[in-house]
A and B are shown apart, each in its own frame.
Chain A
Amino acid sequence: MSDSRPFDVEAIRRDFPILEREIRGKPLVFLDTAASAQKPQVVLDAIQDFYTSGYANIHRGIYQLSAEATRRFEAAREVVQRFLGAADAREIVFVRNTTEAINLVARTWGEENLGAGDEIVITAMEHHANIVPWQMLGERRGTVLRVAPIDERGDVLLDEFEALLGEHTKLVAISHVSNALGTINPLAEMIAIAKERGITVLVDGAQAVPHMKVDVAALGCDFYAFSGHKLFGPSGIGVLYGRLPILDAMPPFLGGGEMIESVTFEKSTYAPVPHKFEAGTPDIAGAIGLSPAIHYLEEIGRDRIATHEHALLVHATEALGAIEGLRLIGTARQKAAVVSFVVDGVHAHDVGTVLDQAGIAVRVGHHCAQPLMEIFGVPATVRASFSLYNTHDEVDVLAAAVRDTLEIFR
């Protein structure tokens, strides 16, 4: 169902108080949402309100305040469940971030189910968070990491991906959207290919959930991970979705309070999911702040956000692509609003500093994807990422500042 309400970017910008800031005397042009998103007032209010008038630890107090906090924390879990299309709120595990979610799976499901010679297939565009945990698992268990190649545009080569999946493949761990290139992977197809062979699938959804509707039940993946801070929520809260039977069978992650059923000095038994994976006091305010962030996005409508972002992507690709000496890195067929580029003869760090002087916040560096940078033969890129609060004027400011950079270094 299409939503015909006009997209009022100025009204949206007023929801984000930080956008009123000036940087080095210039209005802030925030083009680093792929690293972390700014927070709307509703999120700030929810956190402030919780700490001001609703704070207590959860799941243990007999008193009213603790019961209220517990209810709000668990309500946030249900909001996430609905948001992801999960069948059951118990399939939602609160963690710190995507990185912790993937490490949790490696440390529990991986340790329990994978052994020497078992293969884990990733793609060449993965973030370090979806590479290193599997290498660490390999050091402990002797598993083998296989990498599905990409083409020069930054699209995964599906045939080669499929060819990599064999009798030893036990896990496919892939990003939904590439943080460095913006590539939107053909996830449904890739999951179907893995599932035909009965292979478990984990999806790194950190870059996807802020931009598109995600339905884990329809996708059919076993695990899906994302971070709250990239979704306009607080930093320190993240989500691991796992199918209930798999989570049920997994050993616990960290040991401690909250994750137990009963403890004696001889033996402990563990709480049911999801609490089995949530040892210790969690980021209560983080979960409570994530909930209004999700409501906020749903209220605006992710389809409308995607349309706005795509228009910014097209504009930025044209405006930057027209600059002589600039090379776009990552031109996949389906892209999120991420534009990665290098400028001839000018190091990405110098570009970043010139842009900073113009009030523009971009990410420069290897974007936690060093192997990917090697494939493209560059040490680092400049990455501008666009979101619901960015404007077409900001795209023009960016392009002008990149031209200034070339002017300085000519």
Chain B
Amino acid sequence: MDELRDLYQATILDHNKKPRNFGALENADRKADGHNPLCGDKLTVYLELEDDRVVDVAFEGAGCAISTASASLMTERVKGRRIAEIEEDFCRFHELVTSAPDAPVNIGSHGKLAVFSGVREYPMRVKCATLAWHTLRAAIGNRGTTAKTE
């Protein structure tokens, strides 16, 4: 079970059980739907922007622990940040969950998101961890399309 604790760390279990920034955002000026057809996970990300800064963000939907916790931690991460910074966050996060399992993790640059390093051991779960981020980027682009992991 120890290996599993690496994947399902306390932070992930906590955010799964009590997701932060959960629910629709009334003043949202952008939103996007995300869908992982592999497992049926669906979520919606709402954004309130001032110029290029995210002043508020929320999500709702149903998914596995990895995708729910990832969405929850993502909202905490990006609130107050500029779009360009968020793009950097996404790239770093994507690299974190897709890097080799034994690659060193720079905790400092990932902050709380470092808890997702365990996903590297489970390639089938990478899409769960990145669904919220793909959806967020779709919302920023306001393309009005459904973000898909496939």
User: Bound state CA distance, A24 and B101, in angstroms?
Assistant: 14
* Interchain CB contact under 8 A, A409 and B40: no
Interface size class of A (residues with CB under 8 A): 20 to 34
Tell me if A380 counts as interface (CB < 8 A to partner B).
yes
Known: A24-B3, A357-B3, A408-B1. A350 touches B40 (CB 8 A): no
Q: Which residues of B contact A391 (CB under 8 A)?
A: none
Known: A365-B39, A379-B39, A380-B40. A350 touches B3 (CB 8 A): no
Tell me if B64 counts as interface (CB < 8 A to partner A).
yes
Known: A350-B65, A350-B66, A408-B4. A365 touches B40 (CB 8 A): yes
> Size of chain B's interface in residues, with CB distance under 8 A?
21
User: In A317-347, which residues have CB < 8 Å from any B CB?
Assistant: 346-347
User: In A369-391, which residues have CB < 8 Å from any B CB?
Assistant: 370, 373, 379-380
Chain A residue with the shortest CB-CB distance to B125: A353
* Interchain CB contact under 8 A, B8 and A365: no
Known: A24-B3, A347-B63, A353-B7. A364 touches B39 (CB 8 A): yes
* Interchain CB contact under 8 A, A379 and B7: no
Tell me if B13 counts as interface (CB < 8 A to partner A).
yes
Chain B residue with the shortest CB-CB distance to A379: B40
Q: From B4, B13, B39, give the contact of A349 (CB < 8 A).
A: B39
Q: Which residues of B contact A370 (CB under 8 A)?
A: 40
* Interchain CB contact under 8 A, A408 and B13: yes
Q: Which residues of A contact B3 (CB under 8 A)?
A: 24, 357
User: Bound state CA distance, A357 and B125, in angstroms?
Assistant: 13
Q: Which residues of B contact A308 (CB under 8 A)?
A: none
Q: Which residues of B contact A75 (CB under 8 A)?
A: none
Tell me if A39 counts as interface (CB < 8 A to partner B).
no
Question: Which A residues have a C-beta under 8 Å from some C-beta of B?
Answer: 24, 346-350, 353-354, 356-357, 364-366, 370, 373, 379-380, 404, 408-409
11 contacts between A and B (CB under 8 A): A346-B65, A347-B41, A347-B64, A349-B39, A353-B125, A357-B1, A370-B40, A373-B40, A379-B62, A380-B40, A409-B65
